[in-house]
A and B are shown apart, each in its own frame.
Chain A
Amino acid sequence: MLDELRTLLAPKIQTARARARQKERGRGARTAILVVVGAVFWMFAFGVLHRLLAYFRGVPEIGPLLAGKLLGLILVSFFSILLLSNIITALSSFFLARDLDLLASAPVDWLSLYSAKLLETCINSSWMVVLMAVPMLTAYGTVYDGGGAFIGLAILAFLPFLLIPAAIGTAFTLLLVNAFPARRTRDILSVIAVLAAAGIVVLFRLVRPEKLARPEGFRSLVDFIAILRTPTSPFLPSEWVSRSVMGWLTGSLDLLPIYLLWSTAAAVVVLGALLHRGLYARGFTKAQESGERWAREGRLGRFARAALSPLGVVRRELVMKEVRVFFRDTTQWSQLILLGVLVVVYVFNIKFLPLTGEGITFFIVNLVPFLNLALAGFVLASVAARFIFPGVSLEGRTWWLLRASPLPIRELLWSKFWVGMVPLLVLALAIVGVTNSLLHVSAFMFAVSIFTITLMTFALAGLAIGFGTMFPRFETENAAQIPTSFGGLLYMMSAVGVIGAVIVLEARPVYSYVSAISFRGGEPAPMLELVLGFGLAAAVCLTATFWPIRIAIRKLEALER
């Protein structure tokens, strides 16, 4: 069995090794950037947590309880991420991977196949969480003097913590594939997305974070401490990891949570294996069926065709193809659900900002919408990373068709730009318009917000097309994985840079104008400063729109596939 498992895992290990050894232009620079970004992230996460935990440690009685609660909160987030990630990864590794035909036709033992695929799913879904956990646990170990043995305990607690969601996620996917018509990943993924959104809300309600933020709301300190002492969710593995870690760090090691973690991991793996033995063959067979999916052009299609006619035949067909492919591809449109949740949470947070009462000046009320632009910009950058950035990568397999046709590359990229930019702009204007109305901002700030967010949207869409073309992932089957690539990381860094530059350039003229109104009684604002600040911000945005697309056109024209 072990030999067979080794054989099954060998191609994955060899592929990873070959990829690491592969010589590629610019690889050194990429690795260097990744190492620097990773080191900065680790140091930042470690620094923030270290400071917070050092403060907690100085608070008698409540300190360790707060540290434990914080750990529980982080771990419960990790657990939900792991569960969702495993469900999605299992779908591809157990049912859609290209090596499955070969494995299914080979005389491979079912348990070896389950073990190999479970391990593959677990590693692919967990590596990012592990990377995030390292600075966190280091901060806990350092502040509470965990000693060298703490590393061993952390590994002992974390291994089953990773294995449990992998086994549960795999089993859940197996049940879904058996329940739904095969290859209908749309149904499966939409269920997963809705469940994920609901799950996150439920988990956050379980943790009840708002109670901890308002100790004055408790009748007495005793009540507050009692709440802190109560396990947040005693049946979740995150709680067991938290208890074992905090137990070790506070000198009261409890072995029960470790026992619970390992016994639960063993139980779910065994149950998962039994389920796999019973249902996998049926599920895999169903996954080979294609299922009927009809699509006839209805009134909407004819209307769109007529409405897009002024664009000309080539652009109209490109736009219609983009829209059809997007709305028929579950991995793409299912992300709209999460986007909706994100936007609602964002708007609600703005709604409940305490911007009335004593000490809240006209200046602060105007400053908040300005800073809101930076946050809205970040939200839009994330949306562009999800929906616009993968555009060119998704053409990988059909590249022969576009390249053999007389379609100029410029037309292709600009069509993708407009198809992505217009909905992004609608979203941007809606977010800024609604939040500005909730904040009751002045006419000046309203105008600044609309002007800035429009320019930013152009820039973010241009950058997404540019970076998506410069760092394509033509072989990826799942569109949702494309934004998490190295190019996606570079795109987000550039987007944050552009947003930061725009905010910095506009900060001075906005400050001057609002100061003139609130402190100097309506004294006219310096026009030169306004024109210069906003002019430079516009120049930055337009450069970020056109320049990446120009580079992308050159890159695509030289591309041979």
Chain B
Amino acid sequence: MIELRSLTKRYGSFTAVNGVDLDVPRGELFGFLGPNGAGKTTTLRMIAGIMRPTSGTVRIAGIDIARQPTEAKQKLGFIPDRPFIYEKLTGVEFLRFVAGLYGQSGEDVERRGRELLALFDLEEWKDELVESYSHGMRQKLIISSAFVHKPEVIVVDEPMVGLDPKAAKTLKDLFREYTRRGNTIMMSTHTLEVAQSMCDRIAIIQRGVIRACGTMDDLRASAESGVTGLEEIFLRLTGEGLARELIEVLDA
């Protein structure tokens, strides 16, 4: 469903993403991990068609997003890490607007909007301007908006930031059910337990290069022997020295 081929992004002399190759098949929940500044957000924004790669290709359901952006984006929903939305629209107006961007309107959209708002406990707030929403409520609204036009692929950057435990649980269930129905999710996260418990496969990116990719068993195999948890694998693959330095700094 998502195909990345030699995907590269350079900012002047700095290479943020360096020749990434990935395949995420239909019905998979794919985790994308990496330390800060590793190239996760840049990769996801290229997949969503917000940024253009310096070289390489992104295909969504077989459609090249650079050549046929409108067709490819019709199949996509994107959830960014920072919830910037129109402050002067109400929740329900925002969902209607997003559906409109995908050419959808009518009773179907209204019903789906109501259901999504109810799912995330935003029903009471639906007629209130977004400017009065908290960070978490905005995040929930953006998540709802990504589902409102029924995309086949969701690309999501740090979905759990700002969510309360109930909303986080709802989101996990929603993601599971969504992929069970044959849709695809590619998700970046720093919450390793979430990735370990939810994702079918995981890729770890560092300095723009994929360091490891596969199921938890594959990752365990690529790390050194004796390592079982994702946190240990992550630290081993991305440089556990940093964690040790942190402990030393705190001790000092």
The interface of chain A, by Cβ under 8 A from chain B, is: 183, 290-297, 312-314, 316-318, 320-321, 324-325, 328-329, 397-408, 558, 560-561
Please, how many angstroms separate the alpha-carbon atoms of A320 and B94 in the complex? Answer: 11
Q: Quick check: B132 and A293 within 8 Å, CB to CB?
A: yes
Please, how many angstroms separate the alpha-carbon atoms of A325 and B130 in the complex? Answer: 11
A-facing residues in B137-165 (Cβ within 8 Å) = 145
- Name the one of B71, B93, B101, B105 contacting A402, with C-beta atoms under 8 angstroms: B101
Which chain A positions have C-beta within 8 A of B102?
Answer: 405-406
Pick the 7 closest A-B CB pairs, nearest first.
A317-B100, A290-B132, A328-B88, A397-B84, A404-B78, A406-B73, A405-B101
Which chain B positions have C-beta within 8 A of A296?
Answer: 90, 127
Q: Quick check: B101 and A317 within 8 Å, CB to CB?
A: yes
State the Cβ distance, A501 to closest chain B Cβ, in Å: 37
Please, how many angstroms separate the alpha-carbon atoms of A503 and B50 in the complex? Answer: 43
A-facing residues in B100-158 (Cβ within 8 Å) = 100-105, 127-129, 131-132, 145
Q: Quick check: B127 and A183 within 8 Å, CB to CB?
A: no
Please, how many angstroms separate the alpha-carbon atoms of A408 and B105 in the complex? Answer: 18
Which chain B positions have C-beta within 8 A of A295?
Answer: 90, 93, 127-129
List the A residue with the shortest CB-CB distance to B89: A324
7 contacts between A and B (CB under 8 A): A294-B129, A314-B101, A316-B100, A328-B88, A403-B49, A404-B73, A405-B101
- Extra contacts, 7 of them, besides A295-B127, A316-B105, A400-B45 (Cβ < 8 A), are A290-B132, A296-B127, A317-B97, A321-B97, A398-B84, A401-B98, A560-B50
Which chain A positions have C-beta within 8 A of B50?
Answer: 399-400, 403-404, 560-561
A-facing residues in B72-94 (Cβ within 8 Å) = 73-74, 76, 78, 80, 84-86, 88-90, 93
Please, how many angstroms separate the alpha-carbon atoms of A320 and B97 in the complex? Answer: 9
State the Cβ distance, A391 to closest chain B Cβ, in Å: 13
Which chain B positions have C-beta within 8 A of A320?
Answer: 97
B51 interface residue, CB < 8 Å from A? yes
Please, how many angstroms separate the alpha-carbon atoms of A290 and B128 in the complex? Answer: 11
Q: A313-B103, A400-B50 are in contact. Are A405 and B90 (CB under 8 A)?
A: no
Q: Quick check: B88 and A406 within 8 Å, CB to CB?
A: no
B170 interface residue, CB < 8 Å from A? no
State the Cβ distance, A5 to closest chain B Cβ, in Å: 32
Please, how many angstroms separate the alpha-carbon atoms of A47 and B89 in the complex? Answer: 51
Q: A397-B84, A400-B80 are in contact. Are A183 and B131 (CB under 8 A)?
A: yes
Please, how many angstroms separate the alpha-carbon atoms of A313 and B86 in the complex? Answer: 19
B187 interface residue, CB < 8 Å from A? no
B220 interface residue, CB < 8 Å from A? no
Q: A290-B132, A293-B129 are in contact. Are A321 and B86 (CB under 8 A)?
A: yes
- Name the one of A401, A403, A405, A407 contacting B85, with C-beta atoms under 8 angstroms: A401
Q: A402-B101, A406-B73, A560-B52 are in contact. Are A290 and B90 (CB under 8 A)?
A: no
B48 interface residue, CB < 8 Å from A? yes
Q: Quick check: B73 and A325 within 8 Å, CB to CB?
A: no
Q: Quick check: A407 and B101 within 8 Å, CB to CB?
A: yes
B96 interface residue, CB < 8 Å from A? yes
Which among A294, A317, A328 has the greatest number of chain B C-beta atoms within 10 A? A317
The interface of chain B, by Cβ under 8 A from chain A, is: 45, 48-52, 69-71, 73-74, 76, 78, 80, 84-86, 88-90, 93, 96-105, 127-129, 131-132, 145
Please, how many angstroms separate the alpha-carbon atoms of A83 and B54 in the complex? Answer: 50
Please, how many angstroms separate the alpha-carbon atoms of A369 and B100 in the complex? Answer: 45
Which chain A positions have C-beta within 8 A of B129?
Answer: 293-295, 328
Q: Quick check: B51 and A406 within 8 Å, CB to CB?
A: no
Which chain A positions have C-beta within 8 A of B45?
Answer: 400
Please, how many angstroms separate the alpha-carbon atoms of A402 and B70 in the complex? Answer: 12
Which chain B positions have C-beta within 8 A of A406?
Answer: 69-71, 73-74, 101-103
Q: A325-B86, A401-B85, A404-B48 are in contact. Are A313 and B131 (CB under 8 A)?
A: no
Please, how many angstroms separate the alpha-carbon atoms of A292 and B130 in the complex? Answer: 10
Q: Quick check: A400 and B105 within 8 Å, CB to CB?
A: no
List the B residue with the shortest CB-CB distance to A411: B101
State the Cβ distance, B138 to closest chain A Cβ, in Å: 12
List the B residue with the shortest CB-CB distance to A318: B100
Q: A317-B100, A397-B84 are in contact. Are A294 and B49 (CB under 8 A)?
A: no
Please, how many angstroms separate the alpha-carbon atoms of A295 and B51 in the complex? Answer: 34
Please, how many angstroms separate the alpha-carbon atoms of A355 and B48 in the complex? Answer: 64
Which chain B positions have C-beta within 8 A of A400?
Answer: 45, 48, 50, 78, 80, 84
Please, how many angstroms separate the alpha-carbon atoms of A256 and B229 in the complex? Answer: 81
List the A residue with the shortest CB-CB distance to B106: A313
Q: Quick check: A292 and B97 within 8 Å, CB to CB?
A: no
Which chain A positions have C-beta within 8 A of B98?
Answer: 401, 405
- Name the one of A292, A329, A407 contacting B128, with C-beta atoms under 8 angstroms: A292
Q: Quick check: A329 and B88 within 8 Å, CB to CB?
A: yes
Which chain B positions have C-beta within 8 A of A314?
Answer: 100-101, 103
Q: A401-B98, A404-B73 are in contact. Are A324 and B88 (CB under 8 A)?
A: yes
Please, how many angstroms separate the alpha-carbon atoms of A313 and B109 in the complex? Answer: 12
Q: Quick check: B97 and A313 within 8 Å, CB to CB?
A: no
Which chain B positions have C-beta within 8 A of A294?
Answer: 90, 127-129
State the Cβ distance, A512 to closest chain B Cβ, in Å: 52
Which chain B positions have C-beta within 8 A of A293?
Answer: 128-129, 131-132
Which chain A positions have C-beta within 8 A of B85?
Answer: 398, 401
Which chain B positions have C-beta within 8 A of A561?
Answer: 50
Please, how many angstroms separate the alpha-carbon atoms of A403 and B47 in the complex? Answer: 12
Please, how many angstroms separate the alpha-carbon atoms of A558 and B51 in the complex? Answer: 8
Which among B71, B73, B101 has the greatest number of chain A C-beta atoms within 10 A? B101
State the Cβ distance, B251 to closest chain A Cβ, in Å: 26
Q: Quick check: B105 and A398 within 8 Å, CB to CB?
A: no
List the B residue with the shortest CB-CB distance to A327: B88
Q: Quick check: A324 and B93 within 8 Å, CB to CB?
A: yes
Please, how many angstroms separate the alpha-carbon atoms of A317 and B109 in the complex? Answer: 13
Please, how many angstroms separate the alpha-carbon atoms of A297 and B50 in the complex? Answer: 32
List the A residue with the shortest CB-CB distance to B49: A404
Which chain A positions have C-beta within 8 A of B127?
Answer: 294-296
Which among A318, A325, A397, A406 has the greatest number of chain B C-beta atoms within 10 A? A406
List the A residue with the shortest CB-CB distance to B90: A295
Which chain B positions have C-beta within 8 A of A397?
Answer: 84
List the A residue with the shortest CB-CB distance to B103: A313
Please, how many angstroms separate the alpha-carbon atoms of A405 and B101 in the complex? Answer: 6
Please, how many angstroms separate the alpha-carbon atoms of A335 and B22 in the complex? Answer: 51
Q: Quick check: A292 and B132 within 8 Å, CB to CB?
A: yes
Q: Quick check: A313 and B89 within 8 Å, CB to CB?
A: no
Please, how many angstroms separate the alpha-carbon atoms of A112 and B52 in the complex? Answer: 47
Which among A292, A405, A408, A558 has the greatest number of chain B C-beta atoms within 10 A? A405
Q: Quick check: B73 and A405 within 8 Å, CB to CB?
A: yes
Which chain A positions have C-beta within 8 A of B105?
Answer: 313, 316-317
